[in-house]
Amino acid sequence: MTQHNVSHRVKNIITSPIKEMMLLASKIKNPLLLAHGIPAEDTPEHIKKAIIEAVKGPVASKYSVLSGMYECRKAVTTRYKRMYGANFDPNSEICITAGGMEACMISFMALIDLGDEVIMIAPSFSSHIEEVLACEGKPVFVNTDEKHGWILDLDAIKKAITKKTKAILITNPSNPTGAVYPENQIREIAKLALKHGFFVIADETYDFLTYDRTPFFSFCQIPEIRNQLILIGSSSKQYRMTGYRLGWVIAEKNIMEQIMKLHDATTACAPVASQFGFVAAVNGPQECVKDLIKNMQERRDLMCKRLDKIPHIFRYYKKPLGAYYILPEIVFPHKDSLGASMAIQKATDVVTIPGIAFSRASEHHIRLSFGGGSGKGPVGKDLINQAFDRIEMWGKKFI
């Protein structure tokens, strides 16, 4: 009866399977988490200190201005100037949000009307799919090339463009595949957006995290696309601030004015103490970021080494070049990715994410995170080794 009274927008979406798997994991006494998209490393001390000092004073207990503290918006501009040589106006083009998730949601809400199409690169981050559906948009999935590292299929993207195309969503580096799209592909997407008049929503949360000297090319490095670009970022991964919920959206002034209306109606302002933390993060020492990249590359190499030992259970074609996920194909007998993920969890207490969470393109896959765990139980390399020891032992019956 209750369901009959809720909006059709809510009926159209589901709770992220990632969150569902974590709820199931909470009932396990000692789970080994290869599911969570969070780094094992704690928030750096200089960031914590700034947050603590902010909480001691009177400012953190009050609202900030709607777009975020000026110092925080300025820190965002400093970040992009340092990384890409890009310039943004902190007064008109930046809004500080409660994490990258809010930034994505209010951006979709600002653009999408009933029936508008959003091209989504599949496999796609599960929450992005639900956000588009909640806005009554239509996801149009374009598959990627798994055997060549999940790279974009530009011809397929061109064929997916219609008169109803309102935007394309590019998550780069990719969650869940770990793909990093090269400059020529990013430039081609920008050309298509300019030619057909749709927006590019670029979630570049993992832009700092690439491996094997793989270069990252940001949409913000293409001046021509600025008026049709909505750029999403977050402090969660780079500065290990997942629980502090601090992200941002960058857009041209006129679009930002519309996004700000939605930010006001949903959140009012990002957590103020977290804004102080982000200012300290950007303006402070960056060794913590370099250390994180080094640790993640070591964990990636370890996870791939362990996967190579169990080809009768999982198969992958190329190492991920960014983020901290790998999406191997399921080889052992299974009916579906959810059933496979549940079978592993039941037998080993190792928690993974079924590929169906990221569209039908990854149905016969499972996402594994080498982020290193949530801090409960083993973390880092110990977590990966213990989890794969259990999977390897359990999987002997499939040889």
Taking alpha carbons only, the member of 375, 377, 384 closest to residue 301 is: 384
How many domains, the chain?
Answer: 2
Instruction: Give the CA distances from residue 355 to residues 177, 309, 361, in Å, rounded to whole numbers and listed in that order.
Output: 10, 21, 8
State the amino acid at position 290 in one-letter form.
Answer: K
Pairing type for strands 229-234 and 199-203 reads parallel
Q: What is the DSSP string of 165-184?
A: EEEEEEESS-TTT-----HH
Kindly report the CATH number assigned to the domain that includes residue 382.
Answer: 3.90.1150.10
156 and 304 belong to one structural domain = no
Tell me: do 305 and 278 sit in the same domain.
Answer: no
Q: Where does a domain end: 240, 263, 283?
A: 283
Burial of 182 (0-12, 13-18, 19+ CB in 10 A): middle
Q: Which residue has the higher pLDDT, 26 or 178?
A: 178
Residues 228 and 362 in one domain: no
Give the tokens for residue 124: 């796609």
> Can you give the pLDDT at residue 210?
98
Residue 143, H or E segment: strand 138-143
How confident is the model over 274-327, as pLDDT tens digits? 999 999 999 999 999 999 999 999 999 999 999 999 999 999 999 999 999 999
Task: Give the integer Cα–Cα distance in Å for 323 and 373.
Answer: 15
Work out the number of other CB atoms within 10 angstroms of the CB of residue 382: 14
* Predicted local confidence at residue 2, as pLDDT: 55
Same domain (yes/no): 77, 184: yes
Q: Which of 221, 253, 283 is the last residue of a domain?
A: 283
Residue 146 and residue 130 share a domain: yes
Please check whether residues 182 and 154 belong to one and the same domain: yes
**Global pTM?**
0.95
| 252 plus 311 within the same structural domain | no
Q: What is the pLDDT of residue 13?
A: 81
Render 115-134 in DSSP notation, one character per residue: T-EEEEEES--HHHHHHHHH
C-alpha 311/C-alpha 392 separation (Å) is 10
Cα gap 153→142, rounded to integer Å: 8
Stronger pLDDT, 14 or 86, i.e. the higher one: 86
Q: Which CATH number do you get for residue 216?
A: 3.40.640.10
Q: What would the pLDDT profile of 84-116 be if each residue is shown by its tens digit?
A: 999 999 999 999 999 999 999 999 999 999 999
Q: In terms of Cα–Cα distance, which of 83, 79, 109, 107 is closest to 235?
A: 79
Domain that holds residue 134: 45-283
pLDDT tens for residues 111-155?
Answer: 999 999 999 999 999 999 999 999 999 999 999 999 999 999 999
pLDDT score at 15: 74
Q: Say whether both 247 and 147 belong to one domain.
A: yes
DSSP H/E element including 391: helix 380-394
Proportion of the chain above pLDDT 70, given as a percent: 98
- The SS3 call for residue 369 is strand
Examine the fold and report which residue of 283, 306, 332 is the final residue of a domain before the chain moves on: 283
User: Where is 231: in which H helix or E strand?
Assistant: strand 229-234
pLDDT of residue 106: 98
